Amino acid sequence: MTATLPLPTKRDEAWRYADLKALEPIWPKLDGPEKVTVADGESASRQITVLPMIDGVGIVDLDITIGDNATFAIHVLVSAADYGRIQVKATLGKGAHFELGGAILGSGTQTLEIVTETIHAQPNATSNQVVRSVLAGKATGSFLGRINVVRDAQKTDAAQSVKAMLLDRTATANAKPELEIFADDVKCAHGATVGELDKQALFYMAARGLPPELAQKLMLQAFIADAFVSMDDDEQRAIIEEKALAVLEKLS
């Protein structure tokens, strides 16, 4: 994204669910994607819990190149913005690994997105993406994740898991996992579900003396924790989960 590029339209699949009206006034102020390179054999990670804001709009755009046998892990929380978007493009070398864990927590009339493009450019690379959304009010939460496996990227192993929980039926969740595979010896899978809190589980917990508010809190906590279970750093995981729980308290 740069000021020299035209404003996206709904015809651009990656911006299909975006709040283009909110984006328009700040578009000229946005820089292009941040370039991140992980050298061969190295490991790197990043956590994003606060979006850089301009007039209520927060955008993060990353273009990541992961070298041979290298690893990059990113864990994100998308919440505090009228329109918030994290956009990640990851290109994987031979034997590389890309890990993404994301939580989208929205209420009111927020529009929040995680958009990824994962390019398996070499053989024996792996990627795993887990996104969990909790939405209330008239909020919209979207995940668009495209996985491209080039012709020579044999032994690719790629997975996406996308689940959304609607606290109000006026909220909207969009999930669009997409696979484009040109190699013939690969293992690729994706799954997407949208639902509400399990009423039977809530009843079961209430029958054992848990107040309804606490039962709901515990279920949402466990649901969101899936997005961060892959974090190796226990301290960093505790920090991001604590921030997510603080947002959940306001939603529920």
* One-letter amino acid for residue 62 of the chain: L
The neighbour count for residue 4, using CB atoms within 10 Å, is: 7
Within-domain flag for 216:
no
Higher pLDDT residue, 209 or 49?
Answer: 49
Longest CA–CA span in the chain (Å) reads: 60
Check whether 193 has a pLDDT greater than 90. Answer: no
Within-domain flag for 251:
no
Within-domain flag for 235:
no
Predicted pLDDT at 210? 76
E strands of the chain, at which residues? 34-38, 43-48, 53-54, 57-66, 71-78, 83-92, 97-106, 111-120, 126-135, 140-149, 157-166, 172-181, 187-195
Within-domain flag for 209:
no
Check whether 4 has a pLDDT greater than 90. Answer: no
The closest alpha carbon to 48, from 39, 40, 38, 36, belongs to 36
Please provide the average confidence, as pLDDT, over all residues in the chain: 92
Within-domain flag for 86:
yes
Averaged pLDDT for residues 127-141? 97
CA dist., res. 228 & res. 242, Å (int): 11
What is the pTM assigned to this prediction?
0.92
Averaged pLDDT for residues 128-155? 97
Predicted pLDDT at 5? 82
Check whether 3 has a pLDDT greater than 70. Answer: no
- Convert the pLDDT of each residue in 214-234 to its tens digit: 777 888 889 999 999 999 999
Identify how many contiguous H helices and E strands the chain contains and give both numbers: 4, 13
Within-domain flag for 60:
yes
- Convert the pLDDT of each residue in 21-41 to its tens digit: 999 999 998 988 999 999 999
Q: Do residues 248 and 223 make contact, with C-beta atoms less than 8 angstroms apart? A: no
Within-domain flag for 170:
yes
| Number of domains into which the chain is organized | 1
**Range(s) of the domain holding residue 31:** 13-196
CA gyration radius, the chain? 18
- Convert the pLDDT of each residue in 65-123 to its tens digit: 999 999 999 999 999 999 999 999 999 999 999 999 999 999 999 999 999 999 999 99
Check whether 2 has a pLDDT greater than 60. Answer: no
Within-domain flag for 90:
yes
